[in-house]
Structure 1
Amino acid sequence: MTVRAIGLMSGTSLDGLDICFVQFEKQQEWSFQILKAKTIPYPKHWKDQLRNSIYLSPEELLELNAEYGFYLGKSIHQFIQSHQLKNIDLISSHGHTVFHQPQKKFTLQIGDGRAIKLETGLPVIYDFRSQDVLMGGNGAPLVPIGDELLFPQYDACINLGGFSNISLKSNSKRVAFDIVPVNIILNQLVQKFGKEYDKNGELAKEGKVHDQLLNHLSALQFYRLPYPKSLGIEWCNENIFPSFENIETLDLLATFTEHIAQQISQVINENKLENILFTGGGTHNTYLIEKIKSKTKGEIVIPERQIIDYKEALIFAFIGILRLNNEVNVLASATGSFRDHSSGIIA
């Protein structure tokens, strides 16, 4: 069986829209080949709209959901045209997360899939998280099914995006959870220097670790909760940003980078992981990666750039294919829902 799909991912760190066109084949096992991939940086207008979406009225949010859906559809249409892509079976869109409060039984990823379908004329699968939240799960992380079936050679996969998450095998089950916020904090801090992100951690290197803040962060209750567990911007607004007052920004960058490295290496060491695949935008932060390596014995595997940058979009393309075939694409062992299921709305 050969299937070709476009995966679409917008991360919480707002660095842009990842579009990934992939060919999947299934014989005994699944294999994949990325045919084309591109990140479209958000224009300022969209970056501001998405960043402020959490503060909109219900009417404004519904309007943005449709408007953003058409924007996604147009972006994909241009991607297809510019690369003259053929034989596309489906588009699989994660959407952009505005709210994520699974304890209250809701999560919201905007970007109406029906608008994408109207712009492209292709089948679209979207809203992968809501069903899991209604079933008592965290609605996250969803990527573990892809780790299980597409990257089985690694003990664990860690993604460094807006938040870092891990998926690993434990007692023959795939478990997964969010570890610590990453770029959602670091990128906001470096904006004070007129930058989008801290290239190679160069600014963090200049700062000094603030021990009192580091101890405060390490003591946050989330890190002691059992998995499955997930993080959202609301948690950061409540628990992280208020503790940053009256500390130099360079020192905040140094301290939070140290905090990230501590939390991630702790998870690696506790689970005795021997080889760990690292992907996501934070993997390009060489200073952070060096810090994690210095605190762990396991082998930190950094793959080719296409996998670093597009693994999540690639896996969402795969999740869409599983949904179209009505196969399991959400693992209860990873999200905490009451059973494995096939999730996503088909437009």
Structure 2
Amino acid sequence: MDVIRTAIGLMSGTSMDGIDVALIRTDGRGFIERGPFLGVPYEADFRERLKRALELSRPLTDRRERPAELREIELELTEWHALAVTAFRQRFGLSADAVDVLGFHGQTVLHRPDEGLTIQIGDGPQLARRTGLPVVYDMRANDMVHGGQGAPLVPAYHAALAGKLQQAGEAVCFVNIGGISNLTYIGADGRIAAFDSGPGNALIDQWVEMQTGRTYDPGGEIGGRGKVIPALAARYLESPFFRGNVRRSLDRGDFAPLRPEEASLEDGARTLAHVAAASIVKSAGFLPESPSTYIVCGGGRLNATLMAEFSAMAEGLGSRVLSAEAAGFDGDALEAEAWAYLAVRSLEGLPLTFPSTTGVASPVTGGVLATP
């Protein structure tokens, strides 16, 4: 009989705006019972520290390297996660023995799949000591050791959820629009294909922050007042990333931000929303077949301008677009839930990644267990 565990997943994504905390009960296979969710925003000063971590990581060639300042930021990040777990347990009345494991993503500060290098800062043993709970962390590294791209890891969870949604003969595609967007295709026969699809919120966030000091375009309101600048959109959409049959995972820095003089605030935000939507559609052309339904999660689903662009493009190709909520999920929680699910799979020695998701030679498990 499969063991059902209670797991908390912790996700700090490429937008670097805070920590998503979610609880599920699962056997790491087909049984999933979704629990509460909490978003814990970073303070502005610490968000700037995380941006500094990206700069400090650029010259690194070993994922274990931690120059002094980067190590300080890593410990700060770990403390933020410990406080987030404490706040979550207090908010939802969880006793010390109610949780079996934490799934800890950490913060990606460097991702160079072509060099077999990925660095996520976050001290798993320290988090275990601070929370008194077992922690599974460093879940990407083993995939890369075995020839994979180290991303995306969420498809294993999407595939487990998809069976409840699919009708006979239908293919479903989950679209996670974070800083970088990624796709998980689940065919009617259960076949999985997954890869990063292009820039998501990161370019929009960078543009709005550069122009206004705000960290994002709330609801896509700024972009909704602008118009697409075709030449700027083409510069992104003609990237070599969208050509060729080999999909690769992306780093936040793979697509350069717009320069301040290239557009008005509104036109820049609208153009980048268009790019985010068109990137999904262009990359979906590499899927085994056109999905019947796209299910959109991540922060990008809240950008009405981006969603309108994507819906129009997808419907023109015969597909419908649903937000995660319309499909019965919590679009803010899904990625953190996935990290909880992957932690349980790691404990069970089950694969986290597959040849059709990361390009790894054969299905492999991953993660490192730290105990209090």
TM range, smaller chain: over 0.9
Q: Is the 8 A contact 1:268 1:298 kept in 2?
A: no
CA drift at 1:269: 6.1
Verify: 1:21 aligned to 2:32, yes or no. no
On the 8 A contact 1:8/1:313 being kept in 2, the answer is: yes
2:309 aligned with 1:298: no
1:207 aligns with 2:230: no
Q: Does the aligned pair in 1 maintain the 2:205–2:217 contact within 8 Å?
A: yes
The alpha-carbon deviation at position 229 of structure 1 amounts to: 1.2
**For 1:185 and 1:78, how far apart are their aligned partners in 2?**
31
Aligned residue for 1:52, secondary structure, equals helix
Q: Which residue of 2 aligns with 1:341?
A: 364
CA shift for structure 1 position 165: 0.4
Conservation of the 8 A alpha-carbon contact between 1:99 and 1:108: yes
C-alpha change, 1:226 and 1:5, in structure 2 (3 Å) is same
> 1:78 and 1:262 mapped to 2: Cα distance?
39
Figure out how many residues of one structure are paired with residues of the other and give that number: 342
Q: Who is 1:84 aligned against?
A: 93
Query: What whole-Å deviation, never above 9, does each CA across 1:213-267 have from its counterpart, x for those lacking one?
Result: 122222110011324311112312xxx3266653323221111111222222334
Distance in 2, matches of 1:78 and 1:148, equals 30
Equivalent residue, structure 2, for 1:11? 13
CA distance in 1, matches of 2:178, 2:137: 20
CA distance in 2, matches of 1:206, 1:81: 42
- 1:136 is matched with 147
Residue 272 of structure 2 corresponds to 256
- For residues 243-282 of structure 1, what are the structure 2 equivalents within 5 Å? 245-268=261-284, 271-282=289-300
Identity %: 30
Answer yes or no: is the 8 Å Cα contact 2:18–2:40 preserved in 1. Answer: yes
SS of residue in 1 equivalent to 2:31: strand
C-alpha spacing 1:144/1:4, structure 2 compared with 1 (3 Å) = same
Question: Greater CA deviation, 58-67 or 44-53?
Answer: 58-67
Q: How far apart are 1:327 and its partner, in Å? A: 1.1
Kept after mapping to 2: 8 A contact 1:276/1:300: yes
Deviation at 1:320, TM superposition (A): 0.3
Work out whether 1:230 is the aligned partner of 2:249: yes
| 2:30 equivalent in structure 1 | 30
CA distance in 2, matches of 1:250, 1:76: 38
Say which SS state the counterpart of residue 322 (structure 1) adopts: helix
Q: Aligned AA for 1:278?
A: V
1:278 Cα deviation from its structure 2 partner: 0.9
Q: Partner residue of 2:305? A: 287
Which residue, 130, 142, 165 being the options, matches 2:182? 165
Distance 1:202 1:82, change over 3 A: closer
Q: Distance in 1 between matches of 2:176 and 2:148?
A: 20
Q: Structure 2: how far apart are the matches of 1:132 and 1:245?
A: 41
Give 5+ residue unaligned stretches, structure 1.
Answer: none
CA root-mean-square deviation:
2.0
Contact 1:201-1:287 within 8 A present in 2 as well: yes
Task: Measure, in 2, the Cα distance between the counterparts of 1:216 and 1:278.
Answer: 25
Q: Which amino acid aligns with 2:177?
A: L
Q: Contact 2:143–2:150 (CA<8 Å) still a contact in 1?
A: yes
CA distance in 2, matches of 1:37, 1:302: 17
| Bigger fraction of residues in helix | 1
Question: Shift of residue 56 of structure 1?
Answer: 2.5
**In structure 2, what residue type is equivalent to 1:338?**
A
d(CA) in 1 for partners of 2:281, 2:258: 25
Q: Given the alignment of the two structures, is residue 114 of structure 1 paired with residue 131 of structure 2, yes or no? A: no
Deviation at 1:92, TM superposition (A): 0.4
Residues 8 and 18 in structure 1, CA contact (< 8 A), matched pair in contact too: yes
Report the TM-score when normalising by structure 2.
0.86
SS at 1:30's partner residue? coil
Aligned-partner Cα distance in 2 for 1:134–1:55: 25
CA contact (8 A) 2:27 2:344 kept: no
Matched, 1:50 2:50: yes
* 1:96 aligned onto 2:113: no
The 8 Å contact of residues 14 and 47 in structure 1, kept in 2 or not, is answered as yes
Distance 1:261 1:78, change over 3 A: closer
Q: Is 1:188 aligned with 2:199?
A: no
